[in-house]
Amino acid sequence: MSQPKFEPSPEVLSGETADIYFAHTVEILRREGLNPVATMEVFPSRSGILCGMEEVKALLSKVLPEGNREVWALAEGERMESKEVILRITAPYQSYGLYETAIDGIIAHCSGWATAARECVEAAQGIPVISFGARHVHPLVAGLMDYAAIVGGCAGCSSVIGARLAGREPSGTMPHALILIMGDTVRATQAFDRHMPPHVPRISLVDTFKDEAEESVRVAQALGERLNSVRLDTPAERGRVTPELVKEVRARLDLAGFKHVKIFVSGGINPERIRTFIDSGAPVDGFGVGSYISGAPPIDCTADLHEIEGKPVAKRGRTPGITPNPRLKRIL
Amino acid sequence: MSQPKFEPSPEVLSGETADIYFAHTVEILRREGLNPVATMEVFPSRSGILCGMEEVKALLSKVLPEGNREVWALAEGERMESKEVILRITAPYQSYGLYETAIDGIIAHCSGWATAARECVEAAQGIPVISFGARHVHPLVAGLMDYAAIVGGCAGCSSVIGARLAGREPSGTMPHALILIMGDTVRATQAFDRHMPPHVPRISLVDTFKDEAEESVRVAQALGERLNSVRLDTPAERGRVTPELVKEVRARLDLAGFKHVKIFVSGGINPERIRTFIDSGAPVDGFGVGSYISGAPPIDCTADLHEIEGKPVAKRGRTPGITPNPRLKRIL
Amino acid sequence: MSQPKFEPSPEVLSGETADIYFAHTVEILRREGLNPVATMEVFPSRSGILCGMEEVKALLSKVLPEGNREVWALAEGERMESKEVILRITAPYQSYGLYETAIDGIIAHCSGWATAARECVEAAQGIPVISFGARHVHPLVAGLMDYAAIVGGCAGCSSVIGARLAGREPSGTMPHALILIMGDTVRATQAFDRHMPPHVPRISLVDTFKDEAEESVRVAQALGERLNSVRLDTPAERGRVTPELVKEVRARLDLAGFKHVKIFVSGGINPERIRTFIDSGAPVDGFGVGSYISGAPPIDCTADLHEIEGKPVAKRGRTPGITPNPRLKRIL
Amino acid sequence: MSQPKFEPSPEVLSGETADIYFAHTVEILRREGLNPVATMEVFPSRSGILCGMEEVKALLSKVLPEGNREVWALAEGERMESKEVILRITAPYQSYGLYETAIDGIIAHCSGWATAARECVEAAQGIPVISFGARHVHPLVAGLMDYAAIVGGCAGCSSVIGARLAGREPSGTMPHALILIMGDTVRATQAFDRHMPPHVPRISLVDTFKDEAEESVRVAQALGERLNSVRLDTPAERGRVTPELVKEVRARLDLAGFKHVKIFVSGGINPERIRTFIDSGAPVDGFGVGSYISGAPPIDCTADLHEIEGKPVAKRGRTPGITPNPRLKRIL
Amino acid sequence: MSQPKFEPSPEVLSGETADIYFAHTVEILRREGLNPVATMEVFPSRSGILCGMEEVKALLSKVLPEGNREVWALAEGERMESKEVILRITAPYQSYGLYETAIDGIIAHCSGWATAARECVEAAQGIPVISFGARHVHPLVAGLMDYAAIVGGCAGCSSVIGARLAGREPSGTMPHALILIMGDTVRATQAFDRHMPPHVPRISLVDTFKDEAEESVRVAQALGERLNSVRLDTPAERGRVTPELVKEVRARLDLAGFKHVKIFVSGGINPERIRTFIDSGAPVDGFGVGSYISGAPPIDCTADLHEIEGKPVAKRGRTPGITPNPRLKRIL
Amino acid sequence: MSQPKFEPSPEVLSGETADIYFAHTVEILRREGLNPVATMEVFPSRSGILCGMEEVKALLSKVLPEGNREVWALAEGERMESKEVILRITAPYQSYGLYETAIDGIIAHCSGWATAARECVEAAQGIPVISFGARHVHPLVAGLMDYAAIVGGCAGCSSVIGARLAGREPSGTMPHALILIMGDTVRATQAFDRHMPPHVPRISLVDTFKDEAEESVRVAQALGERLNSVRLDTPAERGRVTPELVKEVRARLDLAGFKHVKIFVSGGINPERIRTFIDSGAPVDGFGVGSYISGAPPIDCTADLHEIEGKPVAKRGRTPGITPNPRLKRIL
């Protein structure tokens, strides 16, 4: 995965996305003439895969005074433990106080997605997992969600913007809409084959009009060697994709001489169902995961001041002073 | 709540945030010369409060051909049932096919937040609920999250941008950081009082250094009539805010002659805990809710073609033809 | 339902099917010269629908001495309560002691089946239920099982012998084997139509080769008015029949102009699933139930002596003397 | 266990016990002039002990054309796995199509009984288990049930016909009826001893009139060396037989000098209760099991065509072609 | 129930039974010359039946200065709610500080017993309940436990001292030891009848040697009209007393002409089992309850100072000042 | 632990605390002239730590005839198994029959407390546990309860009488009452320091007025080296003591230079919460346990006659004759 480029948005920089009380605080301190060098530490509420740190670094490198700052952090994609310090900022408080909301939010949301992705990837034991959930989150964060899924270990994603952030090609087959408009799965697959550039793999969605096993053999017969995969996406109304269906489609494709055609499974996939497919020996070649990743709850983060002008402090419930964590590396 | 103004972002309009296969589909249909008038219906996977429709309308009004379009929908903030059709678009397919990802995602994400907010508001039985979760979502959607919370019934929110979208004043007290830097809760509250404009209510956060009951009386004695409220935000390490704590703080404030000071509660609040406070008769004047709303799972939506050039169609698992819903109103 | 004719089998009459110790007992009493008039009462271990009493009556009328007997019982098909006396025999003990095993067994097994059938029938709220479980019991009792199912309220059954016992026409469609041999569902249905007498309803099994919705429309188009029903029997590997599938097949048949074609559902049906279909408003016209009825556990029965030569007796755990039950009617 | 002789009944051979649609199918195929060589495979819905194959073999050897048949199967009493092919028939379809109902039913019912018996036998860890459930099934299958219990590992059974099928002596003590008529347990046991041939073991049932411990010592004192065992069958109204009761009876018999008298336990016995007796060290010498075996649910079986005239076929949900199973042996 | 006389023990008065820190506290205050009039309130941790207040009153009337004291309380046997103030003492602190441990302990322990007794009495719906648990508590509190059980509603108790405290006759039958020594239940009952004064009811314990039903009839035949009751106390090893056993014993006694003999049940009795007897219609005439009452957990009480020299005070977690409770009555 | 001296109370010796039927029994036997040498065995209903045997021995040594007695028992503090014989008395029955109630009750109550104490001690893995529950039991048994807790492994107890019985110094800090009367925790602690003899450790209770962490540092600053410990006793209304609170107090004390001050935890402590503190690494120096020990249910004991004049006997449900137990030692 290549290094993404994050650019803080004007609304974040202006403090518009912040909780109002941080604006108040900076204003009050300014009027009181207080701008102590303060150390803030951030920790997550549960363990998971850290994501969002690159974006946070881009923000901090813009707002912290260059000569008077020190930032330590875990790296993008690293495992983080519950309550472990993952970010420590030391700088004049007025330079960064306004951004506590954004820093917490970026890491919380992205780490939530990355962590859910990792669960799927671990369940899949090497079989590729593709993030398909762009349709379940607001488009403003669809790309970040897909980027986080790839940080978490997904082999690809369906959104163009997410793939670009992660330096990958977007993945995808065809929607039911294309098949409904073309009126037949075979005809839609042939049109796809006709017009798409050669590097786009021919993957046919085979549950629109006919039984999946029947349709799989039909599209294989129509495209022959050029067919890369079939995608099974059986709706809940038809009982979802089952391990037995995958086995049968495999058997019928093999029997008809199409051993090269891969089988891709989607529709309500989550780690538990992935394990069911794996445990029952269903020959799946790829999983498409939607809302399990895109709807993952953020991993809430907390930021606390632990030192002010070199003096240990803490609110009730926290321990005053720097919390040691040898895993942190200096990033600014 | 005033009418918000939504402006589709360039990344949405260009299709970058879309699933790649919709771009492929539109491309293939263009090359095949197919652009039928098609009817797409959208339904949610579970019941809840609809939010995001205003933003979707702004998008559709920009992309659908004015003379050849018909859009019916439920209104922002209306209750929607599981699997009920909430949006029906009839227009040439090429004009909107690329936006299925965005339409689903906007509604899914915003409705998830609005629905969770509604649950809190209903549990609170008239006591105001404020959205405090901006710190738990990515700043690009923090404002939308807060806007959705207010659509769901919250009385206010903490982010500046969310409050602006919803046409409200942002709500907030002061962070622990201010108190830690000032070194004392009374001193911090006095500084706040000194520098903030008169319309900002004086709400003191009373759990930083001392026991909440003790600190409450101290700040009340310092500000007298000008103190609007105290906010109890006891951390989990100190057992969170309990109904008994609220009762005791109320009793101690009353005993000291500060019956006018209100009590605001935050920290891990959710509908179940709200009900516990209400049922035990704790005299809470406002609830601050964070991750229960901000971390609510999106309400996944599905879009299906049901008519093409006036002919009923549907993929397997769906019923061909228009799905009647008398609650829909024409919006475009 | 006409009156069935039951004929005790030679193995029952000879005592071969009895527990050996009853043969011993009769032998010992004979040698001891003891043959008291004894009253035996039978009660079931749980409540249910009584079945088997007609067969028991046929047996008793053959073995009890005509001038010295009195038999009281509940009637075939009546509800019986847990531990209620359902049969009371007064006669010389040697005349019936050998048949305790058979009497208990007949009632236990048949009542188990009838009771399970009644549960399905009550769940179905007037929609006909057909017993399809002959294949899950030994052929020697397949007819009795189907007879009991009809006593319990089923509208019909699939076995020839069961239907004859109950005075009904056997019900059935066609097996997958016919369709597999004919190579196509439409062709198989047409052959069925060609060769079966007019009184046999044309019911096509539509899940063998293609998707059920597609196949339903195809067979309806082939047979037109002559098609009575389609039977949905989707295997577990394809997610079983769902309420949504029934609704969709109904919609597609209606859309294609075949409102007269009924929909029959089978495959793992039980009272709970019947209720799910009913509650979700799926337009089912008949349910085929297999192992829920055929595999129902027998309702174990117990026979106790309560009077010997007019003197109340009982083993420990039972109350000596006749147990009053005004619901009993004299049958012999 | 000697080899049983099974003779297909006329009702099975005539197809009366079959599902009507198999008769229809054979009739249609005959009229269509279709009689392909077809391969049918049978598999069970869950794992267990196979029973009924001998009876199926007797049926098939009668109906399949001798020169044109091939039958492979697992053997009576072998363990079978869930969904494993346990029987494969290749022959002209018309010769056996009518018997699918009977074949499935025989194996399902008998394997259900054998499997439950095996569970008891395994729980008993070498202590003999006797099948006592003839009274809970219809007399037409009482013998088959007891035969299946012995196939499953039981040491004996109480029905005369079941014992004969399995080539054993029937087991049994005496019923409560004998004791009630004789008026005293000791007197009944003495009459039993007087009249029964020497090879019948003297087992006294000791819970009819008095406490079991008291009665056990009384009958032991009456019969002395000739007493083989006492049977404890305490009814549920007296709390059933408990491990402590067995220990106490053992202690009291031993104390009175009757160490040779064995203790046999019955009444609501199942694997879980057997384990409780074993785990608590109760000195049980034999268990009598009734409805746990006799009321065991059949192991439903499914028969599918997998080849027609050498061509792989299958209905949806199954894999076309022969399913390999090296454990099968050719039986016809 | 007559008024009991409680006399504080010397160990309580001297403070030996107190927590050491109360002795320390009184000592420190004395040395500091502090003896403020203080108000202490006591509340229970859960709801129940108040017991022990008479004993507490006896203690307080001895230690509080007569002219300078005010004590308000709920009355012995009244229902108390969770956290309700049940006792309020206003007096110079040094006069009673040492007795906080004793006051809490007396009420906690006695109320625990009374509350458990009440649960049994309510379950029994008018059938007398006798406290039989003296053998499960230390003899120093056996009388208090039985007294508390009678405060809770029991009709009697087995300990002599408990009965005296409560102004009742002690209840009891005979122990197994008497019967074992006499060698026969009938003989033991006859000896009892011979030597006991006429006012002691003849209640025979009928489970020592023989089955309860058999023994019941035997003792009834031996004592005739003079037999008051039989007590069923079947041990766990024989399955405890069951509702069916009671019914059968009743039936056998009635059949033998002993309708006047009552049936008394004991052995592991608790409210749930009492309800089972009542619900199944078992004709029980009295329940003997042991460890459910005697082993009931104390209802922990807490004592807090709420006013010192007329000034409201409270520790954190409690509300300063007198807690109003209109149910309290002045007792000193 | 030194050897306690137990003196049977007059009420026990007179039989007043006994069940009335034992008095009856001894009276009847006396009148019948029966005084056989009888062997009584006592066993507990569940496993635990034996306590009370010393007191029982004191009683028996007083009542059994010196030349005609033999008593075997397990020792105070030994582990006893469920149903294991823990005491065997052989003597003329009239000499001890009256004391069965007391013997059972002493062992039951004391062993219940000792066993609960042992659970806490084992959970604490070497960290001292102090019994603080005197306030939850009747003062007549408060000392015995604390003695039993120490037999179970507690390092100390709070009641003066309990400590004396166990030969220890009583443990304790100060009550909230002292602090409320002194008006400030520091002032109360200083008064304690001023007036208490040097051997009493200075332990300050730090949750009365202010937050525990703040108060801990204040009292440490006031007493310096002389402060032994702080006790955290946070009420449920403030969320009880949490592991995090202990860690924070430790950190704040250390930071302020008071590493020698120990932390003592109380308030609703039980084995499960002790394990939570241990598992989370909270640096607790001592646990105070109240109602978990004081409210422990007695371990009900049963006494049975097993031999009369050398002849094995037993009631139904028990085995006649002496029950061998090599762990018993002769004590009288």
Tell me the per-residue pLDDT of B195-252, one tens digit each, with 9 for 90 and over: 999 999 999 999 999 999 999 999 999 999 999 999 999 999 998 999 999 999 999 9
Rounded distance between C-alpha atoms, residue E124 and residue E182, angstroms: 34
**B312–C213: do the CB atoms touch at under 8 Å?**
no
pLDDT at residue F238 is higher than 80: yes
For F238, the closest of B209, B236, B238 (CB atoms) is B238
Rounded distance between C-alpha atoms, residue F43 and residue F304, angstroms: 9
**B320–C251: do the CB atoms touch at under 8 Å?**
yes
A115 is written with which tokens? 């962590």
C contacts of B320 (beta carbons < 8 Å): 251-252, 255
Average pLDDT, chain F: 96
Residue in chain F closest to B212 (alpha carbons) equals: F211
Reported as a single tens digit per residue, the pLDDT across C80-123 is: 999 999 999 999 999 999 999 999 999 999 999 999 999 999 99
Position B1 confidence tier, pLDDT thresholds 50, 70, 90: low
Residue in chain E closest to C313 (alpha carbons) equals: E252
Mean pLDDT, contiguous 10-residue spans, chain D (332 residues): 83 96 96 98 98 98 96 98 98 98 98 98 98 98 98 97 95 92 97 96 96 97 97 93 96 97 97 98 98 98 97 95 97 96
Average pLDDT, integer, range A293-298: 98
SS (H, E, C) chain B: CCCCCCCCCHHHHCCCCCEHHHHHHHHHHHHHCCCCEEEEEEEECCCEECCCHHHHHHHHHHHCCCCCCEEEECCCCCEECCCCCCEEEEEEHHHHHHHHHHHHHHHHHHHHHHHHHHHHHHHHCCCCEEECCHHHCCHHHHHHHHHHHHHCCCCEECEHHHHHHHCCCCCCCCCHHHHHHHCCHHHHHHHHHHHCCCCCCEEEECCCCCCHHHHHHHHHHHHHHHEEEEEECCCHHHCCCCHHHHHHHHHHHHHCCCCCCEEEEECCCCHHHHHHHHHCCCCCCEEEECHHHHCCCCCCEEEEEEEECCEECCCCCCCCCCCCCCCCEECC
Burial class (CB within 10 angstroms; exposed 0-12, middle 13-18, buried 19+) of E129: buried
pLDDT at residue C149 is higher than 70: yes
Burial class (CB within 10 angstroms; exposed 0-12, middle 13-18, buried 19+) of A37: middle
Chains E and D touch (3+ CB pairs under 8 A): yes
Residue in chain E closest to D240 (alpha carbons) equals: E239
C59 is written with which tokens? 């047996």
- Sheet containing strand C329-330, edge to edge, reads C311-312, C301-308, C37-44, C87-92, C70-73, C329-330
For B255, the closest of E312, E317, E318 (CB atoms) is E312
C301 neighbors C43 (Cβ within 8 angstroms): yes
**Predicted local distance difference test score (pLDDT) of residue D3:** 72
**Predicted local distance difference test score (pLDDT) of residue D1:** 63
Position C173 confidence tier, pLDDT thresholds 50, 70, 90: confident
pLDDT at residue C242 is higher than 90: yes
Rounded distance between C-alpha atoms, residue B134 and residue B122, angstroms: 21
**A236–B317: do the CB atoms touch at under 8 Å?**
yes
Rounded distance between C-alpha atoms, residue E207 and residue E188, angstroms: 13
In angstroms, what separates the C-alpha of B249 from chain E's closest C-alpha?
8
Burial class (CB within 10 angstroms; exposed 0-12, middle 13-18, buried 19+) of B137: buried
List subunits contacting chain C, requiring 3 or more Cβ pairs under 8 Å. A, B, D, E
Position F157 confidence tier, pLDDT thresholds 50, 70, 90: very high
Residue in chain F closest to B214 (alpha carbons) equals: F210
Rounded distance between C-alpha atoms, residue A154 and residue A55, angstroms: 20
For F237, the closest of B209, B236, B242 (CB atoms) is B242
E contacts of B248 (beta carbons < 8 Å): 314, 316-319
Helices B185-195 + B212-223 axis angle, to 10 = 40
Beta bridge partner(s), residue D130: D156, D288
Interface test mutation site (partner F, options B179, B208, B237, max chain F beta carbons within 10 A): B237
Of C244, C186, C179, C192, nearest to C217 by C-alpha is C186
Rounded distance between C-alpha atoms, residue A28 and residue E201, angstroms: 88
Position B2 confidence tier, pLDDT thresholds 50, 70, 90: low
For D245, the closest of E238, E240, E245 (CB atoms) is E238
For A239, the closest of C210, C214, C240 (CB atoms) is C240
C330 is written with which tokens? 């004299």
Q: Can you say whether residue F52 is alpha, beta or left, with left for phi > 0 and alpha for psi between -120 and 50 degrees?
A: left
pLDDT at residue B257 is higher than 90: yes
Reported as a single tens digit per residue, the pLDDT across F269-311 is: 999 999 999 999 999 999 999 999 999 999 999 999 999 999 9
Average pLDDT, integer, range B21-37: 97
Strands (E), chain A: 37-44, 48-49, 70-73, 79-80, 87-92, 129-131, 156-157, 203-205, 229-232, 262-266, 286-289, 301-308, 311-312, 329-330
**E104–F11: do the CB atoms touch at under 8 Å?**
no
Rounded distance between C-alpha atoms, residue C293 and residue D265, angstroms: 32
Average pLDDT, chain A: 96
Rounded distance between C-alpha atoms, residue D222 and residue D216, angstroms: 10
Of all residues in chain B, what percent carry a pLDDT higher than 70? Answer: 99
**C176–D304: do the CB atoms touch at under 8 Å?**
yes
**Predicted local distance difference test score (pLDDT) of residue A288:** 98
Average pLDDT, integer, range A152-179: 95
**F291–E297: do the CB atoms touch at under 8 Å?**
yes
Cα B248-B251-B253 angle, rounded to 5 deg:
110
- DSSP 8-state secondary structure symbol assigned to residue F19: B
Rounded distance between C-alpha atoms, residue D214 and residue D82, angstroms: 49
Residue in chain B closest to F206 (alpha carbons) equals: B211
ipTM of the complex as predicted: 0.97
Of D90, D305, D29, D313, nearest to C177 by C-alpha is D305
**C252–B320: do the CB atoms touch at under 8 Å?**
yes
Average pLDDT, integer, range A284-302: 98
How many Å is the Cα radius of gyration of chain E? Answer: 24
pLDDT at residue B3 is higher than 80: no
C→B contacts (Cβ < 8 Å), by residue, are: 211, 213, 244-245, 247-248, 251-252, 255
Reported as a single tens digit per residue, the pLDDT across E50-99 is: 999 999 999 999 999 999 999 999 999 999 999 999 999 999 999 999 99
Interface test mutation site (partner B, options A100, A107, A147, A181, max chain B beta carbons within 10 A): A181
**Residue A308: alpha-carbon gap to chain centroid:** 36
Position C1 confidence tier, pLDDT thresholds 50, 70, 90: low
D293 neighbors D142 (Cβ within 8 angstroms): no
**Predicted local distance difference test score (pLDDT) of residue F1:** 63
Task: Count other C-beta atoms under 10 Å from residue B4's C-beta.
Answer: 18
B246 is written with which tokens? 């609220």
**Predicted local distance difference test score (pLDDT) of residue A3:** 72
Average pLDDT, integer, range F224-228: 97
| E327 HSE (CA, 13 A, CB side) | 11
Rounded distance between C-alpha atoms, residue B91 and residue B62, angstroms: 13
Of A278, A277, A274, nearest to A290 by C-alpha is A274
Position A1 confidence tier, pLDDT thresholds 50, 70, 90: low
**F160–E18: do the CB atoms touch at under 8 Å?**
yes
**Predicted local distance difference test score (pLDDT) of residue C4:** 78
**E316–B255: do the CB atoms touch at under 8 Å?**
no
pLDDT at residue E3 is higher than 90: no
List subunits contacting chain A, requiring 3 or more Cβ pairs under 8 Å. B, C, D, F
B156 neighbors B171 (Cβ within 8 angstroms): yes
Residue in chain C closest to E244 (alpha carbons) equals: C317
Q: What does residue B37 show for φ and ψ, rounded to 5 degrees?
A: -70, 120
C contacts of A245 (beta carbons < 8 Å): 237-238
Rounded distance between C-alpha atoms, residue F159 and residue F171, angstroms: 8
Rounded distance between C-alpha atoms, residue A145 and residue B17, angstroms: 11
For B320, the closest of C244, C245, C255 (CB atoms) is C255
Reported as a single tens digit per residue, the pLDDT across C13-67 is: 999 999 999 999 999 999 999 999 999 999 999 999 999 999 999 999 999 999 9
**Predicted local distance difference test score (pLDDT) of residue C317:** 92
Rounded distance between C-alpha atoms, residue F91 and residue F71, angstroms: 9
F contacts of A317 (beta carbons < 8 Å): 244-245, 248
**C319–E213: do the CB atoms touch at under 8 Å?**
no
Interface test mutation site (partner C, options A185, A238, A245, A273, max chain C beta carbons within 10 A): A238
In angstroms, what separates the C-alpha of E328 from chain D's closest C-alpha?
50
**F320–D211: do the CB atoms touch at under 8 Å?**
no
List subunits contacting chain B, requiring 3 or more Cβ pairs under 8 Å. A, C, E, F
Reported as a single tens digit per residue, the pLDDT across C120-146 is: 999 999 999 999 999 999 999 999 999
D contacts of A248 (beta carbons < 8 Å): 314, 316-319
Position B172 confidence tier, pLDDT thresholds 50, 70, 90: confident
Of E319, D20, D249, E142, nearest to C178 by C-alpha is D20
Q: How many CB pairs under 8 A join C and E?
A: 18
Position E4 confidence tier, pLDDT thresholds 50, 70, 90: confident
B contacts of C244 (beta carbons < 8 Å): 317
